Chains A and B, each alone.
Chain A
Amino acid sequence: MNTAYEKMINDLAPKQFSWKGNIWVAFLVLVILAGMYSYVQQLKSGLVITGMRDYALWGIYISNFVFFVAVSLVGSLITAILRLSGVHWSTPLTRISEIIAVAAIIMAGITIIIDMGRPDRMLNLFLHGRLQSPILWDVIVITTYLVISLLLLYYPLLPDFSILKKHPNHTGRLDKWYDRLSLNWSGNEKQVRIHAISLQALSIMIIPVAFAIHTVTAWLFETTYRPGWDSTNFGPYFIAGAFVAGSGAVVVVMFVLRKLYNLEDYITDDHFDKMGKVLVLLCLVYLYFNINEYLIPTYKSTEEEAVHLQSLFKGQYAGLFWTVIIGGLILPVIILLFPKGRKPLPLFMVALAVVLGAWWKRYLIVIPTLSHPFLPIEGVPEAWRHYSPTWMEWTITAATLASALLIITLLVRFLPIIPIHETAEERGLIEDQSINQSL
């Protein structure tokens, strides 16, 4: 048979963890257990274990939630937008980005539950849900996005599962599962047609849902009167930021996986170069929205906005603000404009800075605004004026991030990280085979 094709299957079939992988999983599980311990304390004593109080009424749970929603958007960018625009170089990255999207959106849903004062009453959202509330819109779009993302992950896997099933030497005890999950995929003409149409339909469907999910998340803030949130720029600003965060995450994951699984033949330097170009474009768009978001209110400097902006530019949050803007946005743009900056290692470092910056950027969007209400902060303990997360809050937040990484890790363990069938097709390795099978 086709030896190149065999080699490819050999390269791309899921592999058991090495000792490194096992330690990594053990580490993640440990972090998650610590978070679960803290969450049990939170259930027992209430949100009093957090640093939040009546003025800083939302904290890192919410900013972390916004971060997860942001990262999840990359699935739609790479699998849907690039697919629909006929870009083929991104095919080997579709699985990775879809895995990241699924992990992030699952954790977004869980994180918002963690923030609730009465998670035991979650069903009220369905029993007494008010469609006038942006929270309901969020519930609807997040679940819709999760379903479409799962399907977008699963459909391209059908032929891959069927390939894995036929090569049991790679899979061991798992081939039974691959058999079941392949849903009798044989690659005949009818299946191929339905498959193509479904993927096309899902790719089209996910784009408005992806835009909706992050726009609605922006509206959670924008629908209030508070300075810093009261902006008509928020929807597109959040979407632009989300694409930056998600693309950064894809670069980080693809770099690590390429190293660990020796995927240099599939994730090439050219992929990094192209992702670097995508990232620099997205960063520039985001920079543009940031200028809109900060420059114009600064120009007008209405009393309330001025207090808020001062705290960002020169006050309490200035260190963090400028680190995030310069380190997470401006420097990446400058570095990535140079071809050398888009080599795998430098790009990886830049992407890491972008992802970290993206996390803290959400912190800067959520928290400072709350310390500048319209009426003065009076009659509460002095500590309530400033929010600083407690270690329990950090543990729980770290656990959500670890959970997302664990989901990614487990999916990487059991799924082919690079779509085997699609990549083979694009390289012209299996044309004959599918014709043979349809006969």
Chain B
Amino acid sequence: MEPEKDNQQKSRRNFVEQGLKFGLLTAASGALLAKVFGKSESLDSEETIEVMSTDGTLMQVPASAVEHAHEKKSDYNPREGFPNRKFVMVVDLAKCRNAKKCQSSCNKNHYITGENAWIKIYKMQESEKSAPYWQPTLCQHCDEPACVKVCPVDATFKRRDGIVLIDNNRCIGCRFCMAACPYSVRVFNWSDTWQGDAVEQTAYTPDYAGVPSQKGTVDKCDFCPHMIDKGELPHCVSACPNDVFSFGDMYEDTVTNGSGQSFKLSKLLKDRAGYRLMESLGTEPSVYYLPPSDRIVDFEEGLENYTEFQSVDKPQEP
């Protein structure tokens, strides 16, 4: 268990760093690639790193040949997001067996004290004759978000990097966004709950949702900008034991799963016939689903974990 975990964390740490490199290659395109290949022949002994070209081929290039794209930390503004990024998630339904590690990890790391988790694993079945499957569902971070459209005070907003967040210091608690969201992912803080000393004293920022939560305002999945900032994957992605989730950048056309494997997004969606939830509503979600065909897990396995009336563990001591 231990070494595997280490490995995973390392790969997670590498995630953004590599992402930056991919991004650079995409931007600088041909000219830079030529430079890289020119050098690579003479510098065989040097340390190499793996990069992906724009057409999705993986290749080894010397580390020294790759320049880091610089993102100045001072440019970052929680309302604008990370410059030149567009985050995207892929959920592989063929792999989900309702282990619920995504949920417990999310609950734990966002200090969720209410009774409704931000990520739920729905027991789905399209029709009586078709097979049931498990569908992890979190905020879809829509590009045409119905919630943002209706917010009267600009408390919930869409960032340039694709993430939809809530400014809990501004939210007036009208719950119109919750009525507007067709995915039922928004959660209201009906009361003031104790999240522990450390959280209660943390300074609030919109890009770490729920830390601390505020009575009378709306919360939801934030796509974990606080993890992206550290170069790590969102909690649900890294917690999943079955690599159901992959997270990445649309501009880089790459997504990475919890084990650190990267995939070319466009190819993955094409090969596996990816789709989005309620596409017909025109909300343009950033979360893609891969259909639960050729499943490598047994649906039945998840049933023992299934709790119809509970998604957050009750606290041990009040």
Mark A residues whose CB is within 8 Å of B: 45-48, 52-55, 57-58, 115-119, 121-122, 124-125, 127-130, 132-136, 139, 220-221, 223-226, 370, 373-382, 384
B281 surroundings in chain A (CB, below 8 A): 225
Q: Is the CB of A379 within 8 A of B152?
A: no
Q: Is the CB of A379 within 8 A of B192?
A: no
Measured CA separation A66–B190 after assembly (Å): 23
Sample (5) of A-B pairs whose CB atoms are under 8 Å apart: A115-B174, A130-B151, A139-B152, A223-B180, A378-B123
Q: Is the CB of A117 within 8 A of B172?
A: yes
Query: Beyond A47-B216, A118-B172, A378-B120, is A54–B188 a contact (Cβ under 8 Å)?
Result: yes
Q: Is the CB of A116 within 8 A of B173?
A: yes
B32 surroundings in chain A (CB, below 8 A): none
Q: Is the CB of A58 within 8 A of B188?
A: no
Q: Nearest chain B CB to A362's CB is how many angstroms away?
A: 15
B173 surroundings in chain A (CB, below 8 A): 47, 116-118, 121
B123 surroundings in chain A (CB, below 8 A): 376, 378
**Does B311 reach chain A (CB closer than 8 Å)?**
yes
Q: Is the CB of A54 within 8 A of B178?
A: yes
Given A46-B192, A117-B174, A129-B152, 11 additional A-B pairs, CB 8 A: A45-B191, A46-B191, A115-B174, A117-B189, A119-B172, A134-B150, A226-B179, A374-B183, A375-B183, A376-B124, A379-B116
Stretch from B59-67, B89-97, B236-244, B302-310 contacting the other chain: B302-310
Measured CA separation A384–B120 after assembly (Å): 16
**Does B170 reach chain A (CB closer than 8 Å)?**
yes
**Does B117 reach chain A (CB closer than 8 Å)?**
yes
Query: Beyond A118-B171, A226-B179, is A133–B151 a contact (Cβ under 8 Å)?
Result: yes
Which listed residue (A128, A139, A220) contacts B170, Cβ 8 A? A128
Q: Chain B: interface residue count, which band?
A: 35 or more
Q: Is the CB of B186 within 8 A of A132?
A: no
Q: Is the CB of B150 within 8 A of A135?
A: yes
Q: In chain B, what residue has the closest Cβ to A379?
A: B311
Which listed residue (A136, A370, A382) contacts B152, Cβ 8 A? A136
Which listed residue (B146, B171, B178) contacts A57, Cβ 8 A? B178
**Does B5 reach chain A (CB closer than 8 Å)?**
no
Q: Nearest chain A CB to B44's CB is how many angstroms away?
A: 55
Measured CA separation A271–B62 after assembly (Å): 94
Query: Beyond A54-B178, A224-B180, is A125–B172 a contact (Cβ under 8 Å)?
Result: yes
Q: Is the CB of B179 within 8 A of A380?
A: no
B35 surroundings in chain A (CB, below 8 A): none
Q: Nearest chain B CB to A81's CB is how many angstroms away?
A: 31
Q: Rank and list the top 3 A-B pairs by shortest CB-CB distance, nearest first.
A: A117-B173, A379-B311, A117-B216
Measured CA separation A115–B174 after assembly (Å): 7
Query: Beyond A118-B172, A128-B170, A135-B174, is A380–B309 a contact (Cβ under 8 Å)?
Result: yes
Interface residues of B in 123-160 (CB under 8 A from A): 123-124, 137, 146, 149-155
Measured CA separation A125–B171 after assembly (Å): 10
Q: Is the CB of B154 within 8 A of A130?
A: yes
Contact with A along B190-217 (1 / 0, CB 8 A): 1110000000000000000000000111
**Does B80 reach chain A (CB closer than 8 Å)?**
no
Q: Nearest chain A CB to B304's CB is how many angstroms away?
A: 16
Measured CA separation A223–B192 after assembly (Å): 30
Query: Beyond A224-B179, A226-B179, A380-B309, is A116–B151 a contact (Cβ under 8 Å)?
Result: no
Measured CA separation A58–B179 after assembly (Å): 8
**Does B76 reach chain A (CB closer than 8 Å)?**
no
Q: Is the CB of A381 within 8 A of B190?
A: no
Q: In chain B, what residue has the closest Cβ to A52?
A: B190
**Does B13 reach chain A (CB closer than 8 Å)?**
no
A370 surroundings in chain B (CB, below 8 A): 179
**Does B184 reach chain A (CB closer than 8 Å)?**
yes
Q: Is the CB of B171 within 8 A of A117?
A: yes
Q: Is the CB of B152 within 8 A of A378?
A: no
Q: Is the CB of A117 within 8 A of B180?
A: no
Query: Beyond A116-B174, A133-B152, A225-B146, is A374–B278 a contact (Cβ under 8 Å)?
Result: yes
B124 surroundings in chain A (CB, below 8 A): 376
**Does B182 reach chain A (CB closer than 8 Å)?**
yes
B217 surroundings in chain A (CB, below 8 A): 117-118
- Name, among A121, A370, A384, the residue most crowded by chain B CB atoms within 10 Å (CB to CB): A121
Which listed residue (B116, B171, B172, B182) contacts A54, Cβ 8 A? B116
Measured CA separation A128–B117 after assembly (Å): 29
Q: Is the CB of B182 within 8 A of A374?
A: yes
Q: In chain A, what residue has the closest Cβ to B311?
A: A379
Which listed residue (A55, A378, A382) contacts B122, Cβ 8 A? A378
Q: Nearest chain A CB to B258's CB is how many angstroms away?
A: 22
Measured CA separation A55–B179 after assembly (Å): 9
A48 surroundings in chain B (CB, below 8 A): 190-191
Q: Nearest chain A CB to B108's CB is how many angstroms away?
A: 16
Interface residues of B in 76-134 (CB under 8 A from A): 115-117, 120, 122-124
Q: Is the CB of A117 within 8 A of B149?
A: no
Q: In chain B, what residue has the closest Cβ to A373?
A: B184
Measured CA separation A48–B189 after assembly (Å): 8
Q: Is the CB of B311 within 8 A of A57?
A: no
Q: In chain B, what residue has the closest Cβ to A112?
A: B174
Which listed residue (A47, A128, A225) contacts B154, Cβ 8 A? A128
B149 surroundings in chain A (CB, below 8 A): 132-133, 223
A46 surroundings in chain B (CB, below 8 A): 189-192, 215-216
Measured CA separation A179–B188 after assembly (Å): 52
Measured CA separation A380–B152 after assembly (Å): 28
B310 surroundings in chain A (CB, below 8 A): 379-381
Q: In chain B, what residue has the closest Cβ to A42?
A: B216
Q: Is the CB of B171 within 8 A of A133?
A: no
Query: Beyond A46-B216, A48-B191, A374-B182, is A58–B175 a contact (Cβ under 8 Å)?
Result: yes
**Does B176 reach chain A (CB closer than 8 Å)?**
yes
A134 surroundings in chain B (CB, below 8 A): 150, 176
Measured CA separation A381–B190 after assembly (Å): 14
**Does B36 reach chain A (CB closer than 8 Å)?**
no
Q: Nearest chain B CB to A222's CB is how many angstroms away?
A: 11
Measured CA separation A116–B155 after assembly (Å): 14
**Does B187 reach chain A (CB closer than 8 Å)?**
yes
A122 surroundings in chain B (CB, below 8 A): 172
A54 surroundings in chain B (CB, below 8 A): 116, 178, 184, 186-188
Q: Nearest chain B CB to A322's CB is how many angstroms away?
A: 26
Q: Is the CB of A135 within 8 A of B176?
A: yes
Q: In chain B, what residue has the closest Cβ to A134?
A: B150
Q: Nearest chain B CB to A54's CB is how many angstroms away?
A: 5
Q: Is the CB of B309 within 8 A of A379?
A: yes
Q: Is the CB of B192 within 8 A of A121?
A: no
Measured CA separation A221–B309 after assembly (Å): 28
Query: Beyond A116-B173, A118-B173, A375-B137, is A57–B179 a contact (Cβ under 8 Å)?
Result: yes
